[in-house]
Structure 1
Amino acid sequence: MSKKKIRWFTVSMIAFSMVWGFGNVVNNYAQQGVSVVTSWILIMLLYFIPYALIVGQLGSTFKNSAGGVSSWIKETTGKRKVAYYAAWTYWVVHITYLAQKPQSVLIALGWVVKGNGDVATNMSVQVVALISLLIFLVFLFLSTKGLTTLKVIGSVAGSGMLIMSILFIILAVSIPLMDPTFNAATPDMGNLKTYIPDFNLGYFATISMLVFAVGGAEKISPYVNSIDRPTKNFPKAMIFMATMIGISAVLGSVAMAMLFNSNNIPDDLMANGAYSAFQILGKHFGVGNLLMIIYGLAQTAVQSSALAFSIDAPLKILLSDADPDFVPQWLRKQNRKGTLINGYFLTGILVSIIIILPVFGIQNMSELVKWLTNLNSVVMPMRYIWVFFAYMMLNKQINRFDSEYKFIKNPKLGFLVGFWCFAFTAFACILGMIPKVDYAADPKSWMFQLISNIVTPFVLILLGMILPMIAKRERKN
């Protein structure tokens, strides 16, 4: 075996750490309760495994492409403008993601300092928006200076978070063995019917969160050709990774059901659930708030690092090698240090708008976290659609390209699988726009969330359509 080749198991673990996090368990349990166990199994089999294997074939086919998804689109369609839209989508979906990070940092610090979720339950939306805006602007300024140290700390903390996610499952499922008097918070956990979802409109409105949770597999594409015998070992690595994620998701959801009643889910579970869970476990194991504090510190580091990295990296991907026919010169402008100064300015404006927006329609911090998380589940998967589009186009002209690894050898069947993933992602995003708040209880918040969930993705995409017009006018002048 070549020294440059890496084992399939190593690739599987890298992919697992890239895609998975404990927050995925908490957020989806908060929306579906313990019936999410069935949803996890279905999403793994019907969506995530094909998604990961599709990425494998694209990565293997275009192993020398530096631009990721936009390069795949350019190669398979031959159209630079379509490739630009793919690159724009990849960048612009990070706007809502960035808007949520300051609140995540604030909540994590609140738990570490105060030992409770008061920040997420008692602080007014106006105060939260102001503090979040301040945190974001500080990180926006610092990211123009480079934050290598913070990114390293975030990477280490990310490994710690992965360990804490696994530790949570081990500790939670072992409580009944250590304490025979322990009663699970959710009744009838031994009954199979408890785990069957009610497949209605409300249920389908939550699947965007599942898609959001398992998305991001395109990040593993550079590793496809680094693996030994990719045709045989890459599918093995991806199926093993999907199995690990599936087990983590199922056991994590069962563990959540043991601690929080699935029939009476707390309103602040998305904001405070992970910290409350570790606090409960700490009390059961006689270590007080220790587990919660460790998780809170790791979360603070990870969210801070993600905030810095997600300002900087996607912007460089979009603008460093941007096509001047579609991106105006003023947006590509760099200062003497090579900083894309106007790109940071545009990021600052868009993210600031999303941070301030809740002041006009959200009543409390807990509802704010739920809204922003759901908005992310609508916006972020829009970039996955381009992966499946590239795969469909690849299968339409399969003889033009050479690939060491092929997911499906029959191009017609490959196209259909790509179309299924494309359509399912679009379906999840559209239904995800339906607000998760009860209209009768809070009509103002319901209407605000519906309008913002629909308008936000359209405005972000529309902005990307306006830039080529500005660039064209700029060239004429």
Structure 2
Amino acid sequence: MSSNVNATKKLTLVSLILMIFTSVYGFNNIPRSFYKMGYAAIPWYIISGIAFFVPFALMMAEFGAAFKNEKGGIYSWMEKSVGPRFAFIGTFMWFASYVIWMVNVSSGIWVPISNAIFGADTTKDWAFLGIQGLTGPKTLGILGIIWFIFVTYISTKGLDKIKKITSVGGTAVVIVNLVVWLSAIILVIVNHGFAQPIEGLKSFTTTPNPKYAGNMLSALAFVVYALFAYGGIEAVGGLVDQTENPEKTFPKGVMIAAAVIAIGYSFGILCIGVFTNWSNVMSVKGVTLGNASYVVMSNLGVAFGQAFGASQATSIAMGHWVARFFGLSMFLALTGAFFTLTYSPLKQLIDGTPKLLWPGKLGETRKEDGMPVNAMWIQCAMVVVMIALVSFGGNSMAKFWDILVNMTNVAMTIPYMFLSIAFIAFKKKTSIEKPFEVYKSYSSALIWGVIVTLTVGFANFFSIIEPGIEGDMATTIWQIVGPVFFGLVAILMFSRYEKLSKSSSTEKSA
């Protein structure tokens, strides 16, 4: 992202805010939040913005300014602040979060394809090669495995034409947001109200979802969704030195961007309530976390047709075309992201860490383009195994998507705890030059570091235990399995590295 900025042209306040917004804001988070919590999701977005997003973004800004010349990214930040073991485990967990994201999206990408072709999510009825026993999650799992092997093969060739698809998909998703906002404003005027009624403060504190209603544990577990929605902020840490008057502009830009993003998510959830009645649309059998966004977009087309007197058949057709456009937009955006994320986190991990950490030829990169081809194929094997285990573990589509989405949310937020803990140690080290500081004293850094760490920690704790308490042990187990497995792999790899380093230094001294 920062490489696109002209070195001689500094970022202004407005351009900085726009860059943070595009890095963090994700439309898909809005329909999923409405599906889980209705309007009651809004306060949690605001609380998470205050307790996590703003302080964490400012921490990343300080890290980025202090280590702007380091090539190892977040590994360098943590290694110089805490130590190599902590840094490697934290960075490996960060890499692992993208592996789990790829497990999710390899299976999930077929939902936008279905919407793009049929105007609706028909994946629950798909059967691989027509085989009766291979339906629903099993079919999506097999297709996901084929897709990921294909993406890995293309990515190892070093082709970067896929970047054009990324920009097209990104533009289409921006148009989707504008369509939703403008349509909601028009519909609230034409229909003189909201499809999901606002009944005072109660609407923002009580969810229409019976699974969550009156269940404080479920509500607290939802915080992970809000934290995930703010994900990606660590990427803006490298923009400090490219910002005009960074001491004043950067913290102001982060604060304003956080407010804009929190308002954007909150306004988006309200917009969905304009044309979507939760009981009539979201509680219908077949609606899952995997297809909630497409159900909402299809419903927008139907609601728009009905508001202007179109027949039922025409309104449904409009719904299908809106779903087709959204499905195509998401497919293009996800495809672009996929090809980048197949190699980018892995390359950063290998480039930033000592070569002895990687057994055999795992840490080798191709001379022509720096691609870590061997590691990419090992990554492919891990993703394929995880897709197979999750998709063949049960037949319920709703359960399948719950497991995948919850696994992703937990895996992608845990690394933030490593970074916030490392920040506390970073502020204590006077030997590290800090050209940009928002947290002027160590005590303020300690307080906010603890707040961010506890916010992420408790959110994940509640997210993990809540399904198990409700009787869904499979989701609880899978949320634990991913991070624990990759954490153990990181510990074993680092222990091996320490032994090799000791034996190597012993041989040299001899």
Quick check: TM above 0.5? Answer: yes
Are 1:160 and 2:192 matched, yes or no?
A: no
* 2:431 counterpart residue number: 400
Deviates more, 1:352-361 or 1:47-56: 352-361
Distance in 1 (CA, whole Å) between partners of 2:329 and 2:467 is 29
Provide structure 1 residue ranges, at least 5 long, that are not aligned to the other structure: none
Encode CA deviations 1:262-318: one digit per residue, 9 max, x unaligned.
Answer: 457436242222222222222344582443322211111111112211111011111
* 2:223 counterpart residue number: 207
Percent of matched pairs sharing the same residue: 21
* 1:109 counterpart residue number: 113
> Residue type matched to 2:251 in 1?
P
* 1:456 counterpart residue number: 482
Are 1:429 and 2:455 matched, yes or no?
A: no
Q: Quickly say closer, same or farther: Cα 1:125–1:438, change in 2 above 3 A.
A: farther
- Cα RMSD of the aligned pairs, angstroms, is 2.4
Distance in 2 (CA, whole Å) between partners of 1:373 and 1:359 is 13
Distance in 2 (CA, whole Å) between partners of 1:428 and 1:119 is 31
Distance in 2 (CA, whole Å) between partners of 1:45 and 1:472 is 40
Among residues 138, 148, 154, which one is paired with 2:160 in the alignment?
Answer: 148
Q: Quickly say closer, same or farther: Cα 1:297–1:438, change in 2 above 3 A.
A: farther
Query: Is contact 1:382-1:426 (8 Å) kept?
Result: yes
Distance in 2 (CA, whole Å) between partners of 1:61 and 1:18 is 21
Encode CA deviations 1:142-173: one digit per residue, 9 max, x unaligned.
Answer: 11012411123213311331332243123123
Query: Is contact 1:216-1:384 (8 Å) kept?
Result: no
Query: Is contact 1:12-1:241 (8 Å) kept?
Result: yes
Distance in 1 (CA, whole Å) between partners of 2:175 and 2:76 is 35
Distance in 2 (CA, whole Å) between partners of 1:370 and 1:348 is 23
Distance in 2 (CA, whole Å) between partners of 1:37 and 1:472 is 47
**1:98, distance to aligned residue in structure 2 (A):** 0.6
Among residues 272, 281, 297, which one is paired with 2:300 in the alignment?
Answer: 281
* 1:16 counterpart residue number: 21
Are 1:415 and 2:427 matched, yes or no?
A: no
Distance in 2 (CA, whole Å) between partners of 1:228 and 1:333 is 39
Are 1:171 and 2:183 matched, yes or no?
A: yes
Distance in 1 (CA, whole Å) between partners of 2:277 and 2:302 is 18
* 1:135 counterpart residue number: 147
Distance in 1 (CA, whole Å) between partners of 2:392 and 2:168 is 38
Among residues 187, 191, 203, which one is paired with 1:194 in the alignment?
Answer: 203
Are 1:80 and 2:84 matched, yes or no?
A: yes
- Number of aligned positions between the proteins: 466
Distance in 1 (CA, whole Å) between partners of 2:468 and 2:38 is 16
Distance in 2 (CA, whole Å) between partners of 1:423 and 1:87 is 19
* 2:209 counterpart residue number: none
**1:406, distance to aligned residue in structure 2 (A):** 1.6
Query: Is contact 2:92-2:486 (8 Å) kept?
Result: no
Are 1:258 and 2:274 matched, yes or no?
A: yes
**1:12, distance to aligned residue in structure 2 (A):** 0.9
Query: Is contact 1:49-1:238 (8 Å) kept?
Result: yes
Distance in 2 (CA, whole Å) between partners of 1:38 and 1:121 is 37
**1:335, distance to aligned residue in structure 2 (A):** 5.3
Distance in 2 (CA, whole Å) between partners of 1:297 and 1:334 is 34
SS in 1 for 2:376: helix
Distance in 1 (CA, whole Å) between partners of 2:124 and 2:173 is 21
Query: Is contact 2:31-2:296 (8 Å) kept?
Result: no
> Residue type matched to 2:203 in 1?
T
Encode CA deviations 1:351-402: one digit per residue, 9 max, x unaligned.
Answer: 11221112443322333222211111111112212221221112222x3333
> Residue type matched to 1:127 in 2?
T
User: TM-score, normalised on structure 2?
Assistant: 0.85
Provide structure 2 residue ranges, at least 5 long, that are not aligned to the other structure: 1-6, 127-134, 207-213, 306-316, 505-510
Among residues 136, 140, 147, which one is paired with 1:124 in the alignment?
Answer: 136
Distance in 2 (CA, whole Å) between partners of 1:280 and 1:199 is 28
**1:21, distance to aligned residue in structure 2 (A):** 0.8
**1:28, distance to aligned residue in structure 2 (A):** 2.0
Q: Quickly say closer, same or farther: Cα 1:415–1:263, change in 2 above 3 A.
A: farther
**1:422, distance to aligned residue in structure 2 (A):** 1.3
Among residues 306, 310, 317, which one is paired with 2:337 in the alignment?
Answer: 306
Query: Is contact 2:288-2:401 (8 Å) kept?
Result: no
SS in 2 for 1:449: helix
Are 1:369 and 2:438 matched, yes or no?
A: no
Distance in 2 (CA, whole Å) between partners of 1:474 and 1:76 is 24
Q: Quickly say closer, same or farther: Cα 1:5–1:455, change in 2 above 3 A.
A: same
Deviates more, 1:401-410 or 1:16-25: 401-410
Query: Is contact 2:468-2:476 (8 Å) kept?
Result: no
Distance in 2 (CA, whole Å) between partners of 1:83 and 1:174 is 51
> Residue type matched to 2:421 in 1?
F
Query: Is contact 1:88-1:318 (8 Å) kept?
Result: yes
Distance in 2 (CA, whole Å) between partners of 1:353 and 1:430 is 26
* 1:268 counterpart residue number: 287
Query: Is contact 2:100-2:408 (8 Å) kept?
Result: yes
Q: Quickly say closer, same or farther: Cα 1:201–1:463, change in 2 above 3 A.
A: same
User: TM-score, normalised on structure 1?
Assistant: 0.91
* 1:55 counterpart residue number: 60
Query: Is contact 2:29-2:229 (8 Å) kept?
Result: yes
Q: Quickly say closer, same or farther: Cα 1:350–1:272, change in 2 above 3 A.
A: same
Distance in 2 (CA, whole Å) between partners of 1:57 and 1:253 is 32
Q: Quickly say closer, same or farther: Cα 1:120–1:228, change in 2 above 3 A.
A: farther
Q: Quickly say closer, same or farther: Cα 1:324–1:81, change in 2 above 3 A.
A: farther
Among residues 252, 256, 277, which one is paired with 1:236 in the alignment?
Answer: 252
Query: Is contact 1:147-1:308 (8 Å) kept?
Result: no
